[in-house]
Structure 1
Amino acid sequence: MSSTPRLQSLTGKLAIITGASRGIGAAIAQNLASKGCDLILNHSSAYSAGDCQSVCSDLLTVYPQLSIRVVCADVGTVTGPRELIAAAGGKQIDILINNAGTSGNQYLAQVTPEEFERQYNVNVRGPLLLVQAALPFLPHDRSGRIVNTSSVSSSMGLKAQSVYGGTKAALEAMTRTWARELAERATVNAINPGPVETRMYLGTSDEFQMQIKPLLEMTPLAQLSEAEKKGPYKDRAEFFEKHGGRWGKPEEVAGIVGMLCSAEAGYCTGQVICANGGMVMMR
């Protein structure tokens, strides 16, 4: 029997990553760049321009042979997705990561039409229009990869997430539809992170984080081992015990995205892949 083959690299492929200025998006950029992938890093406004440019500069320092550039386009607008795809200059788009998202927690009585529109424009309409605009540039040999960033909120029924949870459930539904429609072009999958140590999650209220506590207590990979309590999490063990377990790391989520983008993942499509340490165990 021959030795185990090495994973194929992504050299020569082009990926577009939305919401790439920080957190999970920046970690995905790092993961794909380490595999040789050229990147278009997207951010939505002047507010995130500096962060996104820093991600780009840091990656080019380590991977100067790659083509990595930043494009500002608000995927929450009607025109932003087309502008982002146009920035690829007609090149084949091998990988499309719908990572940009927005959140907001409101109890049912406080939900407004404006808040509904704000979240659905970014989390649902944005990915739909982006994939639609990318259609002429996707591969025709099933080598394309589309990965959508969903959330455990799509299936957990968390309080105050009528809107946010609904956007992520819609994104998962579109993932399955696109997997069928684009079967000759690309695989289409979603990931469903739980609490991840990002600016977005750290901005949630103490009340919301305490709602998550019993769920983290049931999450296998959120529990600190004795070695972790004495090692990398020594200074934070008490903090995570208070919260029911540790949060995920952006690079852990990015590793799952990188796996889905590989050639070896070519027989996986239409799935919501666990990226939450086992908080959600789907059938």
Structure 2
Amino acid sequence: MTRPLEGKLGIVTGSSRGIGAAIAENLASKGCNLVINYTSPSSADVASSLATQLSSTHNIRAVAIQADVGTPEGAASLITGAREHFTESGRFQIDILINNAGIARNNLLPRVTVEDFEATYRVNVLGPLLVTQAAEPYLPHDRSGRIINISSISSQAGFVTQSVYGGTKAALEAMTRTWARELSERATVNAVNPGPVEGPMYAANPPEFLEGIRGWVLHAPLMRAREGVDPDDVVRDARESGGRPAYTREVAGIVGMLCGEESGWCTGQVVSANGGMIMQ
């Protein structure tokens, strides 16, 4: 089995669970060494276990590092921790950076608070900016670096209750285009925009929100659940919701595709990973 990312180092923020963990698994399967980042002390055991499992299964080096990437100190400590673990013969290089960490605080316009705004923009917008700033000195100088920002179709769809969350993802996509120009001799920079994805964030949505996006789900060709292919519980849920969310591995596969050498002519793009929910 080929390992196209053999010996490279990838940092995945917010990767103890969900999409981030699936991305880490995808990169590890291709030979990439990894930094598994998490924020809360409650995620320490999960992140450590994931790092151990990936190291053992894929014969790579993986470490878990706690850091709140939405603060200058946290972003700096993430990169410092990576340097401590992955400097060899005085050389340290970050080949792949996945800005995945994010939160969602959804509410109708009259109920949005300044706290909601500041917390969400701190993690979803300031966080990727700070981490990319801290990582920039250690990116390659031959265009082989890869930076992937995890956005959302919420940046375009105008979903009810997502004034703040959708705004953060639109900002992230704007930064993606700017960084693609500023870092063009160092790395390609792209965004990936999932729609609904399996996991606790999607499951936490109230019935009113799910009903509001049902029309979008019904018209997303790849969200149609298939009996005998998708798990029975997914098929049952799809009868109510109109379709199934993405499996985390499906989004991770598109991210992994953008990390390879063959993706070197793609930069500044928002790459769809939403089953056709948004077509562009």
Same fold (TM over 0.5): yes
Q: Which residue of structure 2 lines up, in the alignment, with residue 78 of structure 1?
A: 72
Say whether residues 1:181 and 2:176 are aligned partners: no
Deviation at 1:61, TM superposition (A): 2.4
Tell me which residue corresponds to 1:10. 5
Native 8 Å contact 1:150 1:193 kept in 2: yes
- With 124-133 and 70-79 compared, the bigger mean Cα shift is at 70-79
**Residue by residue, what CA displacement relative to the aligned partner does 1:97-139 show, whole Å, maximum 9, x if unpaired?**
0000000111111111111000000000000011011111000
Shift of residue 206, structure 1, vs aligned partner: 1.4
Alignment of 1:6-85 (within 5 A): 9-63=4-58, 65-85=59-79
Q: Deviations for 1:36-92, whole angstroms, at most 9, x for unmatched residues?
A: 0000000012021122112112212212x3110000000122311111011121610
- Look up the SS of the partner of 1:106 in the other structure: coil
CA deviation vs aligned residue, 1:235-265 (integer Å, no higher than 9, x gap) = 4323212101011000000000000000000
- Shift of residue 233, structure 1, vs aligned partner: 3.2
TM-superposed deviation, 1:8: 6.3
Measure how far apart 1:197 and its partner are.
0.4
Determine whether 1:155 maps to 2:179: no
How many percent identity over aligned positions? Answer: 56
Aligned match of 2:238: 240
2:124 paired residue number:
123
In structure 2, the residue matched to 1:3 is none
Distance change >3 Å, CA 236–CA 201, structure 1 → 2: closer
Q: In the alignment, which of 264, 267, 270 is matched to residue 266 of structure 1?
A: 264
Cα root mean square deviation, aligned: 1.3
- In structure 2, C-alpha distance between the alignment counterparts of 1:15 and 1:237, rounded to whole Å: 35
TM-score by length of 1: 0.94
Secondary structure of 1:92's partner? coil
Distance 2:179 2:3 in 1: 25
Q: Contact 1:94/1:145 (CA < 8 Å) preserved in 2?
A: yes
Distance 2:253 2:228 in 1: 25
CA drift of 1:7 comes to 6.8
After superposition, what is the alpha-carbon deviation per residue over 1:181-210, rounded to whole angstroms, capped at 9, x for unaligned?
000000000000000001111111111111
Please state whether the residue corresponding to 2:193 is helix, strand or coil: strand
Q: TM-score, normalised by structure 2?
A: 0.95
Where does residue 248 of structure 2 map in the other structure? 250
Q: What CA distance in whole angstroms lies between the structure 2 residues aligned with 1:233 and 1:38?
A: 32
Output the CA distance in 1 between the equivalents of 2:37 and 2:233: 35
Where do 1:107-146 residues align within 5 Å? 107-146=108-147
Aligned partners of 2:71 and 2:130 also within 8 Å = no
State how far apart, in whole Å, the 2-side matches of 1:235 and 1:129 are.
Answer: 40
Query: Within 2, Cα distance between the matches of 1:148 and 1:196?
Result: 16
Distance in 2, Cα, partners of 1:202 & 1:231: 22
Q: Is the 8 A contact 2:15 2:37 kept in 1?
A: yes
